[in-house]
């Protein structure tokens, strides 16, 4: 159930066609979870600033059941930011990632929750 939401001011037409597939693969590897459960949502072309300028920037939120802790989040940050920097030319000092470790009871899927 990992879900990554990326909000960025980079326009949609500057994203490579394989961006979502690549980000899904990166997350599956970093989190050690199957790609079939990973959701990536991108809000491109958002009117936003970072450090008072409108240069390329991003604000991300990663939610998962487990696999989020201080040492793991460092590795996730490296993987996600490296990919965004490479594919979208956003410098790593112009991004944030917020992490949320959800309980199985708090995530619905396939008509029930992961706790059921």
2, 16, 34, 44: which is the annotated catalytic residue?
Answer: 2
Cβ(63)–Cβ(98) below 8 Å:
no
Find the radius of gyration of the CA atoms of the chain.
Answer: 14
How many CB atoms are located within 10 Å of the residue 8 CB?
25
3-state DSSP percent of the chain in helix, strand and coil, to 5: 40, 25, 35
Q: Say whether 90 sits in a helix, a strand or coil.
A: coil
Alpha carbons 50 and 65: distance in angstroms, whole number: 29
Check if 2 is active-site.
yes
DSSP string computed for 57-73: -EEEEEEESS--SHHHH
Residues with a catalytic annotation lie at 2
């Amino acid at each position: 159930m990992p879900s990554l939401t990326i909000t960025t001011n980079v326009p949609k037409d500057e994203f490579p066609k394989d961006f979502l597939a690549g980000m899904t693969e990166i997350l599956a590897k970093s989190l050690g979870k199957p790609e079939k459960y990973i959701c990536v949502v991108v809000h491109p072309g958002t009117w936003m600033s970072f450090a008072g300028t409108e240069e390329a920037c991003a604000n991300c939120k990663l939610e998962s059941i487990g696999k989020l802790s201080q040492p793991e989040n460092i590795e996730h940050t490296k993987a996600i930011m490296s990919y965004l920097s490479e594919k979208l030319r956003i410098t790593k000092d112009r991004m944030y990632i917020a992490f949320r470790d959800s309980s199985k009871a708090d995530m619905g899927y396939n008509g029930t929750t992961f706790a059921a």
